């Protein structure tokens, strides 16, 4: 990759960095949308569910054979978030799209947690269009096939995560009330169904527009969207039985914290299960207190602090914005100077890749 002439390399910051980090602006909602069981999108909250604590003793294997999984061969790119922005514009909202980075929250989670990621590298594509930079995962077929292979070995663990979601939620529209369902079951798992929130935020001076899935809200079933402050993220974990498992969980809390913090979700509920998939207990974490909780653990070296993460996120996005935005084909035109019949010149495609323990490289691909 270093053979590309226009390549820029950004090393990881030292983990001991003390310089105050750029601030992350409190996210505000631009729009919400729902993926229905057939994966179609509706610009409302029909797929929103309400939190209700899962019963202790719930069997997270329940319903495995009836699960319906989303077809992951369909690459949706940034469709959901772009569709939502178009919907907002059609309703008369102005300027939501202009400026900064438009992407999935999951992409920002990856960039932000990279300083502590020792194993998994990634590649993302960045394209400037009409004043904004669109960022998505670069997912070539071989990488995808490899991931699919790994995922299949985790299929059961993954299912238990979805099953915990069902046991922890009440759907907006109550099902047919099948008497055979176990206590607390919110309905069979269909991973096509998602409720997404699109938010505006910023890291330092860089505006962000992020779309992400939200698991449920803490509100009386039937109430309309009660706001980001009521959103809840659900996670499952194996019950912690020794120091090593506890250390691994504390490391995982970095990803849980970053993921929820980025979208403005104030609460993470973790369900702890045994080896057989039985829910043994659950614990609530307030997102903003997770870094302090980690800092309070008696240890010579804390497993992580937010500081290098925020610095690295800003540095990567700054590198992307300053290089990619000037290649916006729309910037060569003033409003009205484009004949709607004409095609715009092709956009310039950029890529940036993360090499674990080293840093991030940005280069032009065409």
CA distance 157 to 168: 17
Q: Which residues pair with 201 in a beta bridge?
A: 208
Q: Which does 31 bind (CB under 5 to 8 A by kind): Ca ion, ligand 0WD, none?
A: none
Residue 213 touching ligand 0WD (CB under 6 A): yes
User: Site map for Ca ion, 167-206, x if CB under 5 A?
Assistant: ----------------------------------------
User: Site map for ligand 0WD, 189-208, x if CB under 6 A?
Assistant: --x--x-x------------
Token readout for 317 is 């996005």
Residue 253 touching Ca ion (CB under 5 A): no
CA distance 214 to 87: 19
CB of 102 to Ca ion, least distance (A): 23
Among 32, 47, 109, 260, binds ligand 0WD (CB under 6 A): 109
By rule CB under 6 A, what count of residues binds ligand 0WD? 18
Residue 270 touching Ca ion (CB under 5 A): no
Task: Using alpha carbons, select from 331, 317, 324, 303 the residue that is nearest to residue 108.
Answer: 317
Residue 234 touching Ca ion (CB under 5 A): yes
DSSP 343: P
User: By C-beta, is 202 or 234 nearer to Ca ion?
Assistant: 234
DSSP 282: E
Query: Per CB under 5 A, which region of 63-71, 102-110, 180-188, 207-215 contacts Ca ion?
Result: 207-215
CA distance 45 to 29: 13
Token readout for 187 is 């309905």
The answer to whether the beta carbons of residues 13 and 64 sit under 8 Å apart is: no
Neighbours of 26 (CB within 10 A): 11
CA distance 213 to 93: 22
Task: Using alpha carbons, select from 11, 275, 79, 49 the residue that is nearest to residue 167.
Answer: 49
DSSP calls for 190-229: BTT-EEEEEEEEEETTEEEEEEEE--EE-S-TT-----GG
Residue 168 touching ligand 0WD (CB under 6 A): no
Query: Per CB under 6 A, which region of 60-68, 87-95, 100-108, 326-334 contacts ligand 0WD?
Result: 100-108
Residue 80 touching ligand 0WD (CB under 6 A): yes
- Quote the crossing angle between the two packed helices 105-113 and 243-263, to the nearest 10°: 130
User: By C-beta, is 27 or 80 nearer to ligand 0WD?
Assistant: 80
Task: Using alpha carbons, select from 205, 199, 310, 208 the residue that is nearest to residue 263.
Answer: 199
CB of 132 to ligand 0WD, least distance (A): 17
Q: Which does 131 bind (CB under 5 to 8 A by kind): Ca ion, ligand 0WD, none?
A: none
CB of 94 to ligand 0WD, least distance (A): 25
User: By C-beta, is 112 or 315 nearer to ligand 0WD?
Assistant: 112
Among 212, 271, 291, 359, binds ligand 0WD (CB under 6 A): 212
Cα→Cα distances 63→181, 182, 185, 281, 282, Å:
9, 10, 10, 20, 21
Query: Per CB under 6 A, which region of 131-139, 220-228, 284-292, 323-331 contacts ligand 0WD?
Result: 131-139
CA distance 26 to 266: 11
User: By C-beta, is 234 or 290 nearer to Ca ion?
Assistant: 234
Q: Which residue has the tokens 């929250």?
A: 105
Using CB under 5 A, which residues numbered 299 to 358 contact Ca ion?
A: none
Residue 58 touching Ca ion (CB under 5 A): no
Residue 144 touching ligand 0WD (CB under 6 A): no
| Residues at the site binding ligand 0WD, with contacts judged by CB under 6 A | 70, 72, 80, 104-106, 109, 136-137, 139, 161, 191, 194, 196, 212-213, 235, 259
């Amino acid at each position: 990759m270093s053979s590309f002439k226009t390549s820029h390399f950004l090393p990881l910051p030292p983990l001991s960095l003390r310089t105050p980090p750029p601030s992350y602006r409190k996210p505000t909602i631009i729009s919400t949308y729902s993926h229905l069981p057939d994966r179609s999108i509706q610009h409302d909250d029909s797929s929103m569910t309400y939190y209700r604590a899962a019963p202790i003793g719930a069997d997270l294997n329940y319903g495995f054979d009836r699960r319906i999984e989303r077809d992951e061969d369909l690459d949706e790119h940034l469709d959901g978030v772009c569709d939502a922005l178009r919907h907002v514009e059609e309703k008369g909202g102005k300027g939501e799209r202009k400026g900064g980075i438009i992407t999935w929250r999951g992409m920002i989670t990856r960039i932000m947690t990279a300083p502590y990621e020792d194993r998994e590298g990634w590649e993302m594509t960045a394209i400037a269009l009409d004043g904004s930079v669109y960022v998505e995962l670069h997912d070539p077929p071989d990488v995808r096939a490899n991931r699919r292979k790994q995922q299949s070995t985790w299929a059961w663990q993954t299912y238990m995560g979805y099953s915990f979601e069902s046991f922890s939620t009440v759907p907006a529209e109550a099902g047919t009330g099948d008497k055979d369902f176990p206590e607390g079951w919110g309905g069979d798992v269909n991973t096509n169904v998602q409720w997404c929130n699109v938010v505006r935020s910023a890291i330092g001076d860089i505006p962000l527009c992020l779309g992400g899935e939200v698991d449920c809200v803490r509100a009386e079933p039937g109430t309309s969207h009660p706001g980001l402050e009521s959103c809840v993220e659900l996670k499952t974990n194996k019950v912690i039985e020794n120091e090593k498992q506890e250390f691994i969980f504390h490391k995982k809390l970095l990803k849980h914290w970053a993921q929820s913090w980025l979208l403005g979700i104030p609460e993470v509920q973790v369900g702890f299960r045994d080896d057989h998939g039985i829910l043994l207990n659950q614990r609530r974490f307030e997102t903003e207190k997770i870094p302090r909780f980690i800092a309070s653990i008696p240890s010579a070296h804390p497993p992580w602090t937010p500081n290098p993460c925020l610095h690295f996120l800003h540095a990567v996005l700054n590198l992307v914005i300053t290089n990619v935005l000037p290649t916006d084909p729309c910037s060569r035109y003033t409003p009205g100077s484009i004949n709607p019949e004409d095609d715009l010149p092709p956009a310039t495609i950029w890529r940036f890749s993360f090499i674990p323990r080293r840093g991030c490289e940005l280069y032009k691909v065409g």
